[in-house]
C-alpha cells in the first residue's frame, strides 16, 4: 500500500498554494502559528486553520477568529467527545476533499479519524505532516504501543517537533532525521508583550512588589502538591514571603485548596482560575519567577510566556522547553521534581537577591526569541522544501 501511496504522491512536485493546519480546538498559540505563516506567505499561499470542535473539556479558550487566515470549524458549539467517531471521520474527510490541493499539517495522529484522513490525503497525492511535542521520557513506554504509533505515522511525509528530545522521539518511532523540523511549540512574543502593555523585566514592576506564579492545569503530572510544600518551606525561611499565584483549574482544585489550609498558607496563595491570554500576560508582568516543577511536561508553553516578559523559570528536567529555551543559572534554575527543599532554596535565593534576579531576567530576555513563532514558520518552510517521498 505504501508503494502505491508513494507512486501517487510523486506525480506532481509543484507546491500547492494552500496550507492547512489542523488541531482539535484553537487557542491563542494556534492562532499565533497560523497568522505567522499567513504573514510569511502573504499573497502567495492561502492559510486555512481547521478546527475539529469549538469546545474543549481541557481548556476554556474563547472562540477565535483572524483576519489574515481562514478558519473552519467542523463541529461548532460542542466538544469532540460528544460526536461519534463515524461523524468525525465523515466530516473531516469531506472538509479535506473540499479544500482540494494543499499541504496538511495535523495534530492528534494517534486518533482513528486523523489516521484515516491522513491516509486518504496521501492516496490522493497530498502531502501530510504531523505536529507533535511528545518525548520518550514523558512516561514509561511499551514496545507494542510504540509499534502502533509507528504504523499510525505511515501516511506522513515528515514531522515538526518541539525540540531536541521531541525530535529524537520522532526519529525513534518513525522518521528519518532529514524529515523532522523543529519549532512546533512556539508563541508570538510580540502578542504577549502587547497584551501585557508594560516593559518586560528587569524593567516594569519593581522587584519588591513581584510574586511567584504557577500557570498549569490542576492535574497530577503538574506536581502542584510538591510545589505547595516547597512554597511552604520558602515561607518558613522568609520574614516577608512573596505571594504565590496559582493560575489554572482542574480535577485537583479542591485538594489543593485543602492543602493550602493544612499548610497554613491562607492569604499567601491565590487561586486565580483559568485566565485569558491577556490576564496571563498581565500576571507575568508582575511575576518574580515562574514555577514549572512538573513530573511530566511535553514542553511547557508557559515558559515562552514568562520569557516574553523577562521572567526567570524554576523548572524540572521533564520540561521539554529545557532543551531549547532554558539554561540553569542563566535564565532560571533546574530542580528535581521530588525535591521540595531544593525548590524552596532557589525560590528564597531569587526572592532575596535583586542583582541575581536582574541578571536572570536579562538572560531570559536574550533567550526569549527561541520561543517565538517565527521558528514555527521556519519549520514549515523546511518541510515544504522536501521532496514528496519518504
Q: How far apart are CA 237 and CA 230, in angstroms?
A: 11
Residue 58 has a pLDDT of 75
Comparing CA positions, the residue from 387, 386, 379 lying closest to residue 40 is 379
Q: How far apart are CA 200 and CA 215, in angstroms?
A: 18
List CB contacts of 251: < 8 A, sequence separation 6 or more.
218, 219
157-207 pLDDT tens trace:
999 999 999 999 999 999 999 999 999 999 999 999 999 999 999 999 999
Task: Count CB atoms within 10 A of the CB of residue 35.
Answer: 19
pLDDT at 326 exceeding the cut of 80: yes
SS3 label, residue 208:
helix
Average pLDDT over residues 27-37: 95
Residue 89 has a pLDDT of 96
Domain boundaries, the chain: 2-186+373-384, 189-370
pLDDT at 11 exceeding the cut of 60: no
| Superfamily of segment(s) 2-186+373-384 | Glycogen Phosphorylase B; (3.40.50.2000)
94-112 pLDDT tens trace:
999 999 999 999 999 999 9
Q: Which CATH number fits domain 189-370: 2.60.120.10, 3.30.365.10, 3.90.1150.10, 3.40.50.2000?
A: 3.40.50.2000
Give the CA-trace dihedral at 161, 166, 168, 172, to 10 degrees. Answer: -90
pLDDT at 303 exceeding the cut of 80: yes
SS3 label, residue 311:
coil
Residue 117 has a pLDDT of 96
Residue pointed to by grid coordinates 525561611: 237
Residue-averaged pLDDT of the chain: 92
pLDDT at 234 exceeding the cut of 50: yes
54-65 pLDDT tens trace:
887 777 777 788
Amino acid at each position: 500500500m505504501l508503494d502505491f501511496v508513494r507512486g501517487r504522491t510523486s506525480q506532481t512536485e509543484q507546491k500547492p498554494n494552500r496550507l492547512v493546519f489542523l488541531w482539535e480546538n484553537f487557542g491563542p498559540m494556534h492562532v499565533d502559528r497560523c497568522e505567522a505563516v499567513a504573514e510569511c506567505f502573504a499573497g502567495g499561499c492561502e492559510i486555512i486553520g481547521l478546527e475539529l470542535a469549538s469546545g474543549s473539556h481541557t481548556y476554556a479558550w474563547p472562540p477565535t477568529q483572524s483576519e489574515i487566515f481562514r478558519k473552519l470549524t467542523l463541529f461548532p458549539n460542542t466538544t469532540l467527545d460528544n460526536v461519534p467517531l463515524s461523524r468525525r471521520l465523515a466530516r473531516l474527510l469531506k472538509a479535506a476533499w473540499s479544500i482540494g490541493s494543499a499541504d496538511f499539517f495535523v495534530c492528534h495522529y494517534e486518533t482513528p479519524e486523523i489516521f484515516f484522513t491522513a491516509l486518504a490525503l496521501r492516496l490522493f497525492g497530498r502531502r501530510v505532516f504531523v505536529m507533535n511535542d511528545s518525548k520518550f521520557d514523558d512516561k514509561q513506554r511499551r514496545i507494542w504501543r510504540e509499534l502502533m504509533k509507528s504504523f499510525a505515522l505511515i501516511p506522513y511525509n515528515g514531522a515538526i517537533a518541539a525540540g531536541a528530545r521531541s525530535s529524537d522521539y520522532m526519529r525513534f518511532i518513525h522518521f528519518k532525521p532529514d524529515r523532522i523540523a523543529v519549532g512546533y511549540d512556539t508563541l508570538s512574543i510580540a502578542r504577549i508583550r502587547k497584551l501585557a502593555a508594560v516593559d518586560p523585566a528587569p524593567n516594569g514592576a519593581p522587584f519588591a512588589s513581584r510574586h511567584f506564579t504557577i500557570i498549569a492545569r490542576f492535574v497530577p503530572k503538574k506536581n502542584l502538591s510538591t510545589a505547595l510544600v516547597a512554597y511552604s518551606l520558602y515561607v518558613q525561611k522568609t520574614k516577608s514571603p512573596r505571594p504565590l499565584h496559582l493560575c489554572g483549574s482542574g480535577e485537583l482544585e479542591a485538594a489543593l485548596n485543602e492543602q493550602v489550609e493544612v499548610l497554613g498558607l491562607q492569604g499567601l496563595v491565590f487561586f486565580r482560575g483559568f485566565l485569558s491570554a491577556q490576564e496571563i500576560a498581565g500576571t507575568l508582568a508582575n511575576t518574580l519567577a515562574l514555577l514549572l516543577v512538573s513530573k511530566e511536561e511535553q514542553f511547557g508553553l508557559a515558559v515562552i510566556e514568562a520569557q516574553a516578559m523577562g521572567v526567570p523559570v524554576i523548572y524540572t528536567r521533564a520540561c521539554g522547553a529545557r532543551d531549547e529555551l532554558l539554561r540553569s543559572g542563566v535564565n532560571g534554575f533546574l530542580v528535581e521534581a521530588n525535591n521540595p527543599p531544593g525548590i524552596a532554596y532557589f525560590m528564597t535565593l531569587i526572592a532575596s537577591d535583586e542583582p541575581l534576579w536582574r541578571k536572570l531576567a536579562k538572560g531570559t530576555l536574550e533567550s526569549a526569541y527561541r520561543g517565538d513563532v517565527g521558528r514555527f514558520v521556519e519549520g514549515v518552510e523546511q518541510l515544504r522544501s522536501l521532496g514528496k517521498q519518504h
